[in-house]
């Protein structure tokens, strides 16, 4: 679209920054490949782990394969399945294929034909040939088993409970429904008091579990060891199953005979998504098991730093009953990991790594032992700027208490406050402002914290920065004000916050033009409602009304007309809003413009009318609207062509028929000129 040519240099700079981050990850993957070629599998695995923890799917896949083969790490099919699943769930086809094999053969997971088929099918749909062949092999046998299980229900004397068990095993929700309809007990248990729901969860049968819960299965039914469906879901790390059970009434703090909760189970295994879901559900993060271990302690001991950080931010800490040696052992292990991963973080110190990851205990230890608080990496970032951009308020506060300057900036001049604003971290902003951070500090290119907050649309951050005295009227970044930044990203709520605080200044062109290019009609309406000129023109000479008509937004067309927009206005090429709507085939905006006085027979510099433009493109609906409004059919363009000729040339049969039925309408002798 033409408006893309007008994107500011700021957009290019943002894209370049994102590309730089992507390139940095690619470089680290290349470092891992070099390590593999040098047969240094331990180094490769360390790099993959650091990237995998950041969510890189390729690294997660590579780490899963490493655990399966035992190269560079201790062989573990269970860990392999964990990492392969993470990559598979975001669409990595090789991970999907390998995970299918794990389920088919029961490597590290309980064998499940249903799950094997699911992952083989996902990979096959992406063109993975081996997955397609495996799917044909397994699916054939699986389909036969389905048919067999369902057929038994039609045999006189068949046991519905047995058919239910078999259907759950096969992952067949239709078979489950049929068995329940035939009288199977939804909460029947086996010899170990395990219910069908637990069995379905352990097989990752979301559809089957959903069917059972709908039929009234108890989400809190415990087996002989106190194990519950929610714990089974947490052990698998399935955020989907955890969410399903919680919304169905599962007790987030239910315990087994060893005092373990679902949160403890997920934390010990490093299932961050499941942990986050349980924390959001309000589970008690400080409960202790029979050995007086909290979920936080279990995560620390297993080396799951990201999980420990999430639990810490949720209010958990090392219980008083835990020996100091245990605490120090974890800190030493975390420090060793941070040190070994420095190759994956060029120029980063262990303190920077710990601060970025939210590892408060490790940060405290490193600071106490004299770590260089002012050390910088290759881009000039420090531990403070890293912690601020990641939203770790407690770590930011600790570093400031240790004497770090609140206005520390990287080599581009981006301060910790800007990093927090760009991440939408209001609590970090509060801490930095309380400690004297300069709210009007600017980067070398002029970008300020207020620009960053506006760009991400965080209303609370904007309120805090403005209350602290952030200058908005004269703040310019590539000729853009904070209001322009919010409008360019379509953040209508943020625009509303700025306008309510009296921030109305725009840069080289009205903020509404940025919002129009972003496709945010809501933001345009907010701006116009606050008094922005409805007839304002953008840099390309077009009006807001022309943009709304071109984009087919009838609601915005009406709003602009209500605010006084001129329906007869023209673009720099001489086209009216009605002409643009007609050319694009937007009947509702065309109808709205005609109702408000737009001239159906107005011409552009090439003497074309809206009817000609619509007929040439074959937009029958718009042609009907224009004809109903009295558009002349005999009018000729500068080339001497009528709407009917243009429609015939384009092969638009429906439009030709419409125009022929109105062949005598209007134009007269004037239409010849």
Give the pLDDT confidence of 271-300 residue by residue, as tens digits: 888 899 999 999 999 899 998 888 988 887
3 state SS of 537: strand
Q: Which two tokens stand for residue 21?
A: 């981050």
Q: How far apart are CA 75 and CA 185, in angstroms?
A: 42
The predicted structure's pLDDT at residue 336: 57
Which residues face 543 on adjacent strands?
A: 537
Give the E-state strand segments of 30-177 in sequence order: none
CA 123 to chain centroid: 22
Nearest to 437 by CA among 452, 422, 453, 415: 415
> Do 575 and 604 contact (CB within 8 A), yes or no?
yes
Retrieve residue 447's tokens. Answer: 């970008």
Q: Are 303 and 323 in contact (CB under 8 A)?
A: no
* Cβ pair 615, 643 in contact under 8 A: yes
CB of 292 closer than 8 Å to CB of 322:
yes
For residue 250, report the phi and psi dihedrals to the nearest 5 degrees.
Answer: -65, 140
**Paired residues of 409 in beta bridges:** 415
Rounded Cα gap, residues 632 and 601, in angstroms: 7
- Whether 624 and 662 have beta carbons less than 8 Å apart is answered as no
Cα pseudo-dihedral 113, 119, 123, 128, rounded to 10: -30
- Any idea what the Cα angle at residue 595 is, between residues 590 and 599, rounded to 5°? 70
Q: Rounded distance, CA 647 to CA 139, Å?
A: 54
Rounded to an integer, what distance in angstroms lies between the CA atom of residue 488 and that of residue 455? 8
Burial of 224 (0-12, 13-18, 19+ CB in 10 A): exposed
Pair of tokens at residue 163: 């058919």
Contact 175, 138 (CB under 8 A): no
**359 close to 308: Cβ distance less than 8 angstroms:** yes
**Boundaries of every domain in the chain:** 219-341
The CA distance from 548 to 9, in Å, is 25
**CA 84, CA 98: separation in Å to the nearest integer?**
7
Q: What CATH code is assigned to 219-341?
A: 1.25.40.20
Shortest CA distance to 455 belongs to which of 497, 489, 425?
489
3-state class percentages of the chain: helix first, strand second, coil last, to nearest 5: 60, 0, 40
Contact 292, 259 (CB under 8 A): no
As a whole number of angstroms, the distance between CA 572 and CA 396 comes to: 52
By CB atoms closer than 10 A (0-12, 13-18, 19+), residue 145 is middle
Burial (CB < 10 A; 0-12, 13-18, 19+), residue 375, is middle
Other residues' Cβ atoms within 10 Å of the Cβ of residue 12: 11
Go through 320-333 and write b for each residue having 16 or more CB atoms within 10 A of its CB, e for each that does not.
Answer: eebeeeeeeebbee
The whole-number pLDDT of residue 475 equals 79
The rounded distance, in Å, linking the Cα atoms of 313 and 10 is: 33
CA 70-72-74 angle, to 5 degrees, is 45
Residue 480 forms beta bridges with which residues? 477
- Ranges under pLDDT 50 in the chain: 1-23, 141-156, 323-324, 342, 667-673
Q: For residue 151, how far is the Cα from the chain centroid? A: 44
Structure tokens at 85: 């699943």
Q: What does the pLDDT read at residue 511? A: 87
Measure the CA–CA gap between 126 and 113, rounded to whole angstroms: 20
Cα(first)–Cα(last) distance of the chain, in Å? 34
* 74, two tokens: 């201790």
């Amino acid at each position: 679209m033409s408006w893309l040519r007008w994107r500011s240099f700021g957009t290019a700079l943002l894209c370049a920054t994102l590309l730089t981050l992507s390139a940095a990850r690619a470089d680290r993957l290349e470092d891992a490949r070099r390590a593999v070629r040098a047969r240094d599998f331990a180094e490769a695995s360390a790099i993959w782990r650091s990237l995998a923890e950041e969510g890189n799917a390729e690294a997660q896949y590579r780490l899963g394969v490493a655990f399966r083969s035992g190269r560079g790490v201790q062989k573990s099919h269970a860990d392999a399945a964990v990492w392969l699943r993470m990559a598979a769930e975001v669409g990595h086809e090789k991970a999907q294929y390998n995970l299918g094999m794990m389920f088919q053969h029961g490597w590290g997971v309980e064998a499940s034909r249903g799950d094997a088929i699911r992952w083989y099918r996902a990979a096959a749909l992406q063109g993975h040939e081996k997955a397609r062949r495996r799917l044909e092999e397994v699916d054939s046998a699986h389909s036969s088993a389905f048919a067999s299980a369902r057929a038994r229900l039609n045999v006189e004397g068949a046991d519905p409970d047995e058919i239910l068990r078999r259907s759950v095993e096969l992952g067949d929700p239709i078979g489950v429904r049929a068995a329940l309809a035939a009288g199977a007990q939804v909460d029947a248990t086996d010899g170990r008091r395990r219910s069908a729901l637990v069995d379905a969860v352990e097989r990752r049968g979301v559809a089957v579990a959903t069917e059972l819960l709908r039929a009234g299965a108890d989400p809190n039914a415990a087996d002989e060891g106190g194990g519950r469906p929610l714990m089974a879901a947490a052990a698998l790390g399935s955020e989907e199953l955890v969410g399903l059970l919680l919304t169905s009434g599962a007790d987030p703090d239910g315990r087994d005979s060893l005092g373990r909760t679902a949160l403890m189970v997920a934390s010990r295994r490093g299932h961050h998504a499941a942990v986050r879901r349980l924390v959001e559900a309000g589970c008690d993060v400080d409960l202790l098991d029979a050995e007086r271990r909290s979920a936080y302690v279990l995560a620390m001991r297993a080396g799951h730093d990201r999980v420990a950080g999430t639990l810490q931010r949720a209010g958990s800490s090392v219980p008083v009953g835990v020996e100091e040696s245990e605490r120090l052992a974890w800190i030493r292990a975390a420090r060793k990991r941070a040190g070994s991963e420095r190759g994956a973080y060029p120029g980063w110190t262990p303190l920077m790594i710990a601060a970025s990851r939210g590892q408060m205990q490790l940060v405290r230890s490193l600071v106490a032992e004299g770590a260089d608080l002012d050390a910088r990496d290759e881009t000039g970032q420090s531990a403070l700027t890293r912690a601020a951009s990641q939203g770790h308020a407690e770590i930011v506060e600790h570093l400031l208490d240790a004497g770090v300057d609140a206005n520390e900036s990287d080599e581009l001049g981006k301060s910790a406050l800007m990093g927090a604003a760009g991440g939408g971290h209001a609590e970090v902003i509060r801490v930095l402002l309380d400690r004297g951070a300069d709210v009007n500090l600017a980067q070398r290119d002029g970008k300020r914290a207020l620009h960053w907050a506006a760009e991400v649309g965080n209303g609370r951050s904007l309120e805090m920065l403005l209350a602290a005295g952030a200058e908005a009227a004269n703040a310019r970044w590539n000729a853009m004000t904070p209001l322009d930044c919010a409008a360019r990203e379509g953040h209508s709520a943020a625009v509303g916050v700025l306008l309510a605080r009296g921030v109305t200044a725009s840069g080289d062109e009205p903020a509404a033009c940025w919002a129009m290019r972003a496709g945010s009609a809501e933001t345009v309406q907010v701006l116009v409602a606050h008094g922005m000129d409805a007839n304002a023109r953008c840099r390309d000479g077009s009006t807001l009304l022309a943009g709304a008509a071109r984009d087919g937004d009838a609601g915005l067309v009406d709003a602009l007309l209500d605010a006084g927009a001129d329906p007869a206005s023209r673009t720099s090429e001489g086209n009216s809003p009605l002409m643009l709507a007609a050319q694009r085939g937007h009947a509702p905006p065309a109808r709205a413009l005609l109702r408000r006085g737009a001239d159906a027979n107005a011409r552009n510099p090439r003497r074309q009318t809206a009817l000609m433009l619509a007929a040439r493109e074959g937009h029958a609906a718009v042609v009907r609207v224009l004809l109903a409004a009295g558009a002349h059919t005999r009018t000729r363009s500068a080339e001497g062509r009528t709407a009917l000729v243009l429609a015939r040339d384009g092969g638009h049969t429906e439009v030709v028929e419409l125009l022929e039925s109105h062949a005598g309408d209007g134009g007269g002798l004037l239409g010849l000129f």
